[in-house]
A and B are shown apart, each in its own frame.
Chain A
Amino acid sequence: MTTAVKAQLGIAALMFAASPWVINAAPHEATMGLVYKIYFYHMPSAWMFMLGAIVAGVASARFLFAKRQASDATAVAAAELAVVFGLLALVTGPLWARKAWGVWWVWDARLTSSLMLFLIFVAYLLLRQFGGPGSEKLSAGLALFGMANVPFIYVSVNYWRTLHPKTSVVPTLPVEMGIPLWFCVTAFLLLFLALLSLRATLERHRARIDALYLSHDEA
């Protein structure tokens, strides 16, 4: 573990420990009351989910076309993080929706497309796990196709059915709500980056051991 990763993890841990107080300090929202504060964890998770998906897609493209072996490790790490943060977003979302909209789940464009993207990355991990040798190439193709698919899923689900707060809500937040939000986003981002580099290093070591083992077997 490098010093940078240690520092990131340490700061993220402190920020997460402090986050209940920071979120508590945020003002009450008139219509939803206390429950809206889930949002301070929900939105950063959803953003890290998107970030993970984008990093996995870009790394996969580099692995596939530029034949950069190291990018494959980044892609796996990012895909795993996308699944973890995606799950967080998909669990915290319905908790909030139950209170705000009165139902656990609605077939809204953003929800459904997030769920679909989540499923694509679960499929990615299943392929890595059970695909056997050579599956890193297939999974890279899957991540690439998954990325290209996002706008289509969004548009189709949008026209199929559309209640989710628009993205434009963020800049219009009052400062007292904005500060805790950006505080949480920073904490999540630090955690994401630390885990990404840790997991990618682990994956690189694993690939190296596999290669060494094979070359030893052949010798």
Chain B
Amino acid sequence: MSAFLRVAALVVRKDLTVEVRSLEVVSTTLFFAVTVVLIFAFGFVKEGVPMDGVAAAILWITVAFSGTLALGRTFERERQADTLRALMLAPADRPALYAGKLVGMLLLMALVELILVPLVGLLFQAPIFRAPFRLAGLLAAGTLGFAAIGTLFAAMLVRARSRDVLLPVLLYPMTVPVMIAGVRGTAALFQPQPDAGMAQFWFALLVFFDVVFVTLALWTFEPLMTD
């Protein structure tokens, strides 16, 4: 177990070092997320007033879009330098490599969400400080579910042709439950009379989703990544 954690921590450290030196994925993903929110604002703000109940949807769609972009870029970098092959050749547990990549992805998306949530709150008058812990819980659980499937698929697609198109094509239908639960749960917190029970239900569904898919991903990473 300690070897598993050590390998995962090493992979996270490697990814963070590469990212801190170039800031490539963080900066482009953040900028992309901001532009997506602005495009939504032009679509959903009428005469200076945002439409009712769109903030939650915009938040989650932007998380999904920027997450896809970040996943694609992260693994493209690994592919270009052929470092994913090197990782796979390392005498380490494959599931530990997956866990490391997943944690790196989660840190990246958390950073993006840290900017994204206040921006959505600001532009769409969403009450983000009404239940900050519930909102953070929903975002954490939803992001984990999205990233768990996304990391596995992006890693698998490294060797495939037309991987840029195929990642969202495979990822979006698969993460529909995350989107529904995330949007509905967040909307329950944002509505004029917040519904904590509803948010709780969606949070529980997200946690259950996370448990199933993280387990399944750890379990299938080895056979999927072996030639």
Contacts and interface: CB of A to CB of B under 8 A. Distances in A.
Nearest to B161: A132
Contact of B166 (A127, A134, A137, A140): A127
Contacts of B21: none
Contacts of A159: 184, 201, 205
Nearest to A132: B161
Interface residues of A, number: 31
Interface residues of B, number: 31
B205 A135 contact: no
A127 B161 CA distance: 9
Given A131-B160, A145-B213, A155-B205, A64 B180 contact: no
Nearest to B217: A145
Contacts of A119: 173
A141 interface: yes
Where chain B touches its partner, the secondary structure class is helix
Contacts of B156: 137-138, 141
B175 to A, nearest CB: 9
Contacts of A64: 220, 223-224
A65 B222 CA distance: 10
Interface of B: 149, 152-153, 156-157, 159-162, 165-166, 169-170, 173-174, 176-177, 180-181, 184, 201, 205, 208-209, 212-213, 216, 220, 223-224, 227
Interface of A: 64-65, 116, 119-120, 123, 126-127, 130-135, 137-138, 140-142, 144-146, 148-149, 152-153, 155-157, 159-160
